[in-house]
């Protein structure tokens, strides 16, 4: 694939039809926010295996007029009836699949809030593409078909899921038309309520939102929960509102990288860049064993801190400023041995004390695995695949970055709606001793984390990826390829990748593979032995595997030229004019 170059606007999204929707909006005069919302809403149809229309949708926006970066969390909270005591008592602290892991759906409110605050178009003008893709269908593509086939038993558990994803009892085949008529009807109902509302654009947007959170859609969702023993109630839906929050800023090599807050792993991305910014990479060849080792060890330290300190900052005191302070970052960085890998996840630090290792922690490498890893190649949790992404930069330099998510394989579709309501509770813990324990009104710690970069006060880059815990690992590698190794945007995306699994997964059941480092096979064949000599359990990934993420990016260069790229590892496409 070749990088897209354009003069007026660029957009990169996780499916070519989502990209087409965003480009059509830009051509019609919409801005980057309008286009990003059109593409993102469409992804909830085109990627309904990996993205929920009623899922999560964290968003980052930078408007050129103000230069301020804002985030919309796009993340639901646990219903009022949900308690950690229930999970400890009824499920021994485990997070069961199905509607018990449902949090309030946030994506519809996130898209509508972005449109109301920063967009120029109506819900109908941006959602009509998603409605058409759901109502009329679209050609099933390989990755979607493979995902459903591999998770056939999960989809077959519930008749409402099977009716959509296993027509005639089998997974759809690539090339077949895939229709989601009930979901199309939900989107049309929201559009109709908007159109019928009196007043201006904002009142129409409010009507579309109310149709979902207070109207027939909410009643149908909550009636099903009441009948099946779920937690979600009408009061939870009616009271919900996404949050606009300040981003985290991480200076790196002359640019400011902006991430979302500690309610997701955005703070971990920021920590990784802060730690890399002080490492001497002079003389290290791209993707050499020494380079991979250093980046991997940085990531292990970051994930150790994530495990110990990161949770919903509205419910837990997360020491964000201390975690990103120069002294603390330097202390953690000093733990890295350039010749020897941590055999497991290293101990967490104590940010408030500025200590590289917190008191009471096990020795370096001594953190036990919570379960026997068994076959390290067998990553079977269907949730690990979920998420997509969209980036856009328009003619005025407005920037949009969003990472919508939520799978349909681990929960129940609400009959008559086509909605697999956000199962993001899978990233909470069902034990009271955990920092991320379930609590009413609390957000799970989210993996999706869109990012933006600004250089010299000007728009530079919108970037992100699907991939669960691989997300920040792929994002760091892409950004380093682009800025430190001077690759063009497409080369930086396509370069071979690696990822550590030496920490508890964010997803239930939180598998942990001590020392495991997966490396795409063309690279592993060159550096695998040297990595193993340093103590990594380096193993080959299939070349360009979807498990390495699907990075998508939009960039503006110093001369004002626009560029975009899309990862061939997944189904994304970049385009521009």
**Residue 383 confidence (pLDDT):** 38
Q: What is the mean pLDDT of the chain?
A: 94
Q: Does 445 map to a domain?
A: no
Q: Does 517 map to a domain?
A: yes
- For residue 428, pLDDT beyond 50: yes
Of the listed ranges 145-159, 289-303, 360-374, the least confidently predicted one is 360-374
> Mean pLDDT over residues 537-565, rounded?
96
Indicate whether 377 and 415 sit together in one domain.
no
Three-state secondary structure call for residue 214: coil
Rounded to the nearest 10 degrees, what angle do helices 289-309 and 521-533 cross at?
Answer: 80
Indicate whether 391 and 483 sit together in one domain.
no
Indicate whether 52 and 185 sit together in one domain.
yes
Judge contact between 399 and 483, C-beta under 8 A.
no
**Residue 371 confidence (pLDDT):** 41
Indicate whether 207 and 353 sit together in one domain.
no
Indicate whether 283 and 195 sit together in one domain.
no
Q: What are the b/e assignments for 502-539, b being 16+ CB within 10 Å?
A: bbbbbbbebbbbbbbbbbbbebbeebbeebbebbbbbb
Q: Does 451 map to a domain?
A: no
Indicate whether 180 and 319 sit together in one domain.
no
- For residue 561, pLDDT beyond 70: yes
- For residue 378, pLDDT beyond 60: no
Judge contact between 51 and 143, C-beta under 8 A.
no
Indicate whether 393 and 494 sit together in one domain.
no
**Residue 384 confidence (pLDDT):** 54
Of the listed ranges 51-60, 185-194, 465-474, 507-516, the least confidently predicted one is 507-516
- For residue 62, pLDDT beyond 50: yes
Indicate whether 144 and 167 sit together in one domain.
yes
The residue range of the domain holding 199 is 4-245+387-427
- What are the pLDDT digits (tens) for 454-502? 999 999 999 999 999 999 999 999 999 999 999 999 999 999 999 999 9
**Both tokens assigned to 115:** 């449109």
- 């970037």: which residue's tokens? 463
Q: Does 446 map to a domain?
A: no
**Residue 509 confidence (pLDDT):** 87
- For residue 103, pLDDT beyond 60: yes
**Residue 328 confidence (pLDDT):** 98
Taken in order 11, 17, 21, 27, is the CA torsion positive or negative? positive
Indicate whether 46 and 183 sit together in one domain.
yes
Q: Does 370 map to a domain?
A: yes
CATH number of the domain bearing residue 282: 1.10.246.130
Q: Does 469 map to a domain?
A: no
- What are the pLDDT digits (tens) for 162-208? 999 999 899 999 999 999 999 999 999 999 999 999 999 999 999 99
Q: Does 16 map to a domain?
A: yes
Indicate whether 236 and 276 sit together in one domain.
no
- What are the pLDDT digits (tens) for 215-227? 999 999 999 999 9
pTM of the predicted structure, to 2 decimals: 0.95
Q: Does 19 map to a domain?
A: yes
Last residue of a domain, one of 366, 399, 427: 427
- What are the pLDDT digits (tens) for 119-145? 999 999 999 999 999 999 999 999 999
Name the domain count of the chain.
2
Cα gap 79→330, rounded to integer Å: 40
Indicate whether 73 and 151 sit together in one domain.
yes
Indicate whether 37 and 166 sit together in one domain.
yes
């Amino acid at each position: 694939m070749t990088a897209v170059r354009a003069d007026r606007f660029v957009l990169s999204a996780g499916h070519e039809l989502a990209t087409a929707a965003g480009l059509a909006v830009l051509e019609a005069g919409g801005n980057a926010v309008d286009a990003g919302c059109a593409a993102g809403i469409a992804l909830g149809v085109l990627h309904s295996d990996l993205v929920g229309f009623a899922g999560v949708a964290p968003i980052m926006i930078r408007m050129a007029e103000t230069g301020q970066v804002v985030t919309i969390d796009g993340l639901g909270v646990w219903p009022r009836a949900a308690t950690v005591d229930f999970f400890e008592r009824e499920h021994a602290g485990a997070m069961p699949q199905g509607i018990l892991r449902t949090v309030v759906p946030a994506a519809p409110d996130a898209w509508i809030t972005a449109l109301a605050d920063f967009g120029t178009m109506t819900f109908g003008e941006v959602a009509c593409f998603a409605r058409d893709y759901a109502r009329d269908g679209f050609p099933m593509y390989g990755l979607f078909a493979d995902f459903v086939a591999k998770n056939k038993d999960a989809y077959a558990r519930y008749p409402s899921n099977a009716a959509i994803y296993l027509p005639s009892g089998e997974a759809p085949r690539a090339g077949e038309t895939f229709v989601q008529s009930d979901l199309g009807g939900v989107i049309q109902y929201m559009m109709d309520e908007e159109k019928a509302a009196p007043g201006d654009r904002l009142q129409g947007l409010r009507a579309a939102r109310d149709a979902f959170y207070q109207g027939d859609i909410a009643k149908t969702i909550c009636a099903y929960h009441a009948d099946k023993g779920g937690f979600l109630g009408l009061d939870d839906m009616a009271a919900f509102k996404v949050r606009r929050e300040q981003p985290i800023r991480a200076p790196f090599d002359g640019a400011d990288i902006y991430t979302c807050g500690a309610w997701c792993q955005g703070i971990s991305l920021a920590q990784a860049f802060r730690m890399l910014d002080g490492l001497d990479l002079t003389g290290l060849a791209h993707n050499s064993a020494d380079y991979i080792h250093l980046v991997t060890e940085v990531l292990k330290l970051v994930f150790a801190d994530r495990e110990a300190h990161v949770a919903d900052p509205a419910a837990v005191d997360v020491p964000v400023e201390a975690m990103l302070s120069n002294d603390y970052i330097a202390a953690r960085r000093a733990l890295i041995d350039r010749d020897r890998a941590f055999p497991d996840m290293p101990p967490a630090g104590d940010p408030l004390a500025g200590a590289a290792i917190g008191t009471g922690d096990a020795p370096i490498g001594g953190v036990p695995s919570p379960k026997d890893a068994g076959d390290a190649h067998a990553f079977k949790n269907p949730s690990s695949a979920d998420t997509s992404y969209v980036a856009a930069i328009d003619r005025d330099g407005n920037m949009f970055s969003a990472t919508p998510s939520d799978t349909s394989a681990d929960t129940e579709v609400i009959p008559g709606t086509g909605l697999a309501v956000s199962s993001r509770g899978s990233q909470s813990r069902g034990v009271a001793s955990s920092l991320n324990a379930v609590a009413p009104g609390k957000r799970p710690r989210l993996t999706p984390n869109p990012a933006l970069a600004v250089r010299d006060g000007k728009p530079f880059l919108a970037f992100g990826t699907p991939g669960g815990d691989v997300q920040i690992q792929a994002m760091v590698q892409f950004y380093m390829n682009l800025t430190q190794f001077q690759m063009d945007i497409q080369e930086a995306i396509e370069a071979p990748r690696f990822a550590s699994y030496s920490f508890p997964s964010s997803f239930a059941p939180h598998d942990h593979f001590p020392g495991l480092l997966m490396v795409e096979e063309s690279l592993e064949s060159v550096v695998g032995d040297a990595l193993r000599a340093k103590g990594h359990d380096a193993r080959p990934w299939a070349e360009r595997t979807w498990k390495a993420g699907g990075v998508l990016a939009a960039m503006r260069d110093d001369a004002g030229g626009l560029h975009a790229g899309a990862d061939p590892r997944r189904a994304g496409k970049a385009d521009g004019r």
